[in-house]
Every structure is written in structure tokens, then in C-alpha cells.
Structure 1
Amino acid sequence: MSCGDKLRIAIVVSEFNYDVTRIMEEKAVDHARFLGAEVAVVARAPGTFDTPFIVSRLLTSREDIDAVAVLGAVIKGDTKHDEVVAHQAARKILDLSIEHGKPVTLGIIGPGASRLEALERAEEYARRAVESAVKLARRSKELMGEC
């Protein structure tokens, strides 16, 4: 990709807690456009725990993707399940970024969030994940001497 090329990002969205993640998806797409990045694909995973699999498939099969923003909402329940889901997804998302040499950013609300807290944070988390993906992709290009 040359410096004049538009950045192409993927957005991976969890379908679980869709009332929250739908808002996140809409904000992420809008913010990517605002930043001058093209959303090459929006891919959905059943849940936040499943997002690393979709990220891996995208980064393995799509060379045109410069970065990935991952969006999800892990709502606190009666057990510590939310902690397991959020921590494991975050760890693997970071691993995939390093493994593939491309930014994969974390826009996952939780653990420990109530549904109301997740709804209040949805737009901010989506915006930050996309903004980080775009900034990291641009800085990566600079470091690699592509700009």
C-alpha cells in the first residue's frame, strides 16, 4: 500500500448483546469514514469470545486489510463468565495483531459492565477502536518506510 492509498479496515462485531453492538457497529463505520478509512468488510461473530477466530480468518485470507477493529459487549451476569470471555478474547486479539503484523484493536466493553453501562459506553468504545486501528495502521506504514 502506498501513502496515497486509502486505509482499508475490517470491523468484527459480536452479535451477542446486539442491542449494544448494533450501535457500536454504526458508530464504527461512521467514524472510519470520518477518518478517511474505507471499511472493506464488516464481519460478525456469534459472541465476543468468537471474534478472534473471525479476525484470524480475515488476516489470513485478506491481504487488502490494513487493520481490524473488534467490537463487543460482555455484560456482567451472576457468575464470573464475563471475566473469562473478555480476558481471553483480549489476549487472543493482541496475539493475532502481533502474529500478523497488523493492528487489531480492542473495542470490547466489559467485563463487569451492566447493560446500561454498556449502552452508555457503546459509541465511545467503537470510536476509540476504529481510531486506534487507523492511527496504528498509518504509523506502521511510516515505520516500514511506506510513507
Structure 2
Amino acid sequence: MASALKSLSEYTKKKNIDISEKKFAVVISEYNPKITESLYGAVIETLLKEGAKEANIYREDVPGAFELTFGAQLMAEEEDIDAVICLGCVIQGETKHFDFICDAVAHGVTNVSLKYNKPVIFGLLTPNTEQQAFDRAGGKHGNKGVEAAVAAIKMLGMKK
């Protein structure tokens, strides 16, 4: 398990760029709000810490994880948006619903990124239990929101 070896909140500044004029869209699932709001807080804190302007960070809420890809597409098609960060949490249940949703979101996020030639970051937690989700949303494994924000910055660095 990767998060057992390294905190999700640790990162290097290698390849980080000046993001003071970059615009970020954060698409967040309303499902599992205690977890997703913690992820969102970490994204905002990290982007601001790294130089983003609060006025250049836009939030769009969607009902659930499945809707992240359409929300990401709507944001990515906006020419002035430089990167999109998708945040959500799908906790393993007793049915195959988990597998279908996680797979669809992973493929959808990738497709949107390639279609619009801009970073679209997969910040979807896919834990087996609610406790594992909390552990990755500011708990003992750090916060996936930090990792998602840093990924967006580093991928923008590749585009320069």
C-alpha cells in the first residue's frame, strides 16, 4: 500500500512552476462530504501555499463520483481554466457498484484530460472502509487533496 510507505501530504517542489496566474477548477463530489470537504480544504491550502490566487480557484459541486467526469469536461472546455482537479470518495460496498464507478471515473478523467490537452487530476479515494478514507483525507496517511493539487501544478509544469 503506497500510503503506508509515504504520506499523501509530502511532496517535493521539483518541477513546480509559478502558478500565480494559473486558473484551477476543483470539481467535488457531494457524496461523503466529511471526506470530500477535507480533500477540498487540502487542495485550496496547497494551491494558495504554492502561489495560486484565491480568485483563480473555482469550485463546482456534482452529486456523486460518477458525475465528476462531466463536471470536469465542462470545466476543461473553458479556455481560461489551466487545470481541473476532481475530488471524490467511493467506499467499497457489497456490490460491484464500486468497481463500475471507480473504473468509469478513472477512464473519464483520463479522456477529458486528453481531449482538452490539460491536466485533469484524479483525486478520487477508493478505500475499502470509511476509516481508510479518513486516514487519506487528513488522517494518518496524510491528505490526498495535497497530492492532487501538487499533481496539477507539476503537470502544468510539463506544458510550459
Q: Shorter-chain-normalised TM-score: which range?
A: 0.7 to 0.9
Q: Secondary structure at the match of 1:113?
A: coil
Structure 1 or 2: more helix by fraction: 1
| Pairing partner for 1:45 from 62, 66, 69 | 62
CA distance in 2, matches of 1:46, 1:5: 30
The structure with more strand, counted as a fraction of residues: 1
Whether the aligned pair in 1 keeps the contact of 2:19 and 2:153 (CA below 8 Å) is no
1:1-147 matches, within 5 Å, as: 6-38=21-53, 39-60=56-77, 62-110=78-126, 112-123=127-138, 124-141=143-160
Structure 1 residue 138, shift from structure 2 partner: 2.0
Give the Cα–Cα distance (whole angstroms) in 2 for the partners of residues 4 and 119 of structure 1: 29
Q: RMSD between aligned alpha carbons? A: 1.5
**How many Å apart are 1:4 and its aligned residue?**
8.1
What is the aligned residue count? 137
SS of corresponding position for 1:44: strand
**TM-score after normalising by structure 2:** 0.80
Structure 1 length-normalised TM: 0.87
Alpha-carbon shift at residue 5 of structure 1 (Å):
5.5
Percentage identity across paired residues of the two chains: 28
Structure 1: 5+ residue stretches without partners: 142-147
Structure 2, unpaired ranges of 5+: 1-17
